[in-house]
Amino acid sequence: MSRRFLFVLGSSRSGGNTELLARHAAERPPADVPQEWIGLARHPLPDFEDVRHDSDHLRPTEGTAALLLDATLAATDIVIASPLYWYSVSAHTKRYLDHWSGWLRTPGLEFRREMAGRTLWGVTALAHEEREVADPLVGTLNNTAAYMRMRFGGVLLGNGSRPGDVLRDAGALGRAGTFFAQDAPLARFPYETALV
Ligand SMILES: Cc1cc2nc3c(=O)[nH]c(=O)nc-3n(C[C@H](O)[C@H](O)[C@H](O)COP(=O)(O)O)c2cc1C
């Protein structure tokens, strides 16, 4: 499978700091790697309904769920570009990840096997200056990747409140320059790394 990036934009506004930072980083991924960008506010997913233990989930064939499923399956690298909302991912982003639970239980999809070995990345903007307040978001993405047996490239963090603020965060812009060139090891749950 040739390399392909999917950027999933989770902000409730377009052109915000998270998207600006993600676009900055995306100018420097490995050359000639195709990118697809999907904004969840423009393409809202339906609420996730958990029928896992009552019936099979059906593969979506139309609408945003089908768009996102097909884009996810087509990508080797999935970038969750979510602002920090209440110390974690935005509701749009969380709903996208909730849909993964349905795709895991969709007969014929083999979603977990398909995703194993692919890479999950995060990009987030936050108003707080102290970056450790984003630990819950980082943990969510790391553990999601570990559960899915994916690689995890980490989270690119940038500071800002009003749109455009992040472009004054020189540290974030510097990190963006090499972010997607980083090694992305297989993700591990914290209890697994504690044993090593
Ligand atoms: C609903 C909501 C929750 C937020 N929660 C946090 C938070 O927990 N910590 C923080 O530092 N900033 C928080 N912020 C500020 C945003 O992270 C910040 O404005 C960021 O730049 C927004 O990213 P965007 O421009 O990509 O939308 C919150 C903003 C909103 C609208």
Q: Give the pocket of ligand 1 (CB within 6 Å).
A: 11, 13, 16-19, 83-87, 125-128, 133, 160-161, 163
pLDDT in tens, the chain (196 residues): 899 999 999 999 999 999 999 999 999 867 689 999 999 999 999 999 888 888 888 899 999 999 999 999 999 999 999 999 999 999 999 999 999 999 999 999 999 999 999 999 999 999 999 999 999 999 999 999 999 999 999 999 999 999 999 999 999 999 999 999 999 999 999 999 876 6
Q: Could you state, in order of their start, the residue ranges of all structural domains in the chain?
A: 5-195
* In the block, residue with structure tokens 């902000």: 11
How many Å apart are CA 176 and CA 66, to the nearest integer?
30
pTM of the predicted protein model:
0.96
Helices (H), 75-189: 91-104, 111-115, 135-147, 170-178
Among residues 47, 28, 50, the alpha carbon closest in space to that of 101 is found at: 50
CB 103 within 8 A of CB 63: no
CATH class belonging to 5-195:
alpha beta
How many Å apart are CA 145 and CA 164, to the nearest integer?
30
Question: 181 C-alpha to center of ligand 1: Å?
Answer: 27
* In the block, residue with structure tokens 């047996």: 149
Question: 38 C-alpha to center of ligand 1: Å?
Answer: 20
Determine the atom of ligand 1 nearest the C-alpha atom of 12.
27
pLDDT of 58: 87
